[in-house]
Structure 1
């Protein structure tokens, strides 16, 4: 089966499973993000004798809803029923069941005193914007959050901060991309409308932001947290950092920029000037702090190719256009 046939079969499988096709199936065609895996890994089995308990709440990405087709408006603007703010509303609504679920499985819960309720909040892309907005709602002691905590606790004594506190805010490559009437529904604008992503001192005990060092930022404009909070740029594009690439997707990609040279047809591609330059560039990359350590884990080759559709030189000798670059093939 060639790539086109495999892709067609994959699209058909997604349509049969989700009931959606075309734009509405966009998120169904992707893979799980790192936020999903963090949700799976979050330890919800702490025993009562530790004095701590944890529950995980997962909220779908912006523009999506579990079991539903993707929202064109939500995807395009980050607003509406599947927008950033509404996703934080959904998280608040799910707090009640999460707290009750924990207490229902806690021995002698009625005699317990809950000293504090803390949030660990994670998000990627617009989900990172939602995580930041939710952290600000906690920081401002949002009345809806206070009410949800009270409803979840019921008659259990609570001596902590009424709306809880944020212990950790971990975010991947925040791209709010909010389209509003004020900015002409331009998601590339720095204006985020009602979405509050400003992280002031005290919003959380710890904040850590991982960003994509090689993203093309016109389409994915970064909302940085520097200099107030730690931010680490790692090699890769947007979804290299936050996840979402299918692990079975086989992809070849350039480590160096392809270069070209016109040579006589009899010249071996490995004897060209551009081949030597590619070798030198790859060797120099070992000293680059942003990519050097990663090269040790990759199988990299200097690939060559040529185009024979070239006119003869002035002496009538056949020519070719030869290219070379360092290439790696890897499963994402």
Structure 2
């Protein structure tokens, strides 16, 4: 296991700078997930840690050692790619063992290590099969096994689940999380899927346009977003955003004043997560007409027009309100998120 430190990391292609001074400390044994939209720089950052991209400026340190100019094979890392990158003509056994081809282990020791890794991944019964005889999830396990067999200090995952269907993705998320709990190796995982980030990470690094927007635990980035970008990117459905302003006694939003302490004055953007906005049979904070219903089984998402502004709220899954009906929406004032004109969160 090892720590990973990025100090003022910069990447440029010619005159175009795509990473702008990235700073991050990954603790020994931590599971850190980089997440953000396409083109935000998350995969480029991972490839610089791996040594697959040159560093324009700053430092990459693994376990306190600067590795900027070391070859990937000398960094004690293992990388799992999006496209599996396993050999179709080799058996599962040989694919997993490929990572040991330059090791000094004896043949019995190599075989023992392959068997141990296969058992961890529930692939023992498939060791003599070829990749064509495996499902997508099993092929991804083989790719992970080939990385694991080397016992690296750091695992790097570059969107390894994006080629899988929804059910397999969910299954593999759990398996990778359980694997981390068993082996305790430092993991840096890149994804564009915020659900993967929320369910797997010890800490999440949210990126946009080559800058880090926020670093925090899943609970921190969900409940205490640093800015509007994070607030909308994390959470499904996205946070409702409504124009408002600070007034005497609280904040005014949607034609009503809600008691909410703030030192800010003037115009605001008010954020309310759909989880915190509920269709109620009693008196609510807002009134509106339902324009769309999205049944999800245990609950229903209700799209509600409040004076020309559409918001998403939670409604009962068994007895949802009728499409086109007028409803009341309740919200706890403590769960309002306030953002200033610059989009930064206001305490």
* Greater share of helix: 1
TM-score normalised over the length of structure 2? 0.28
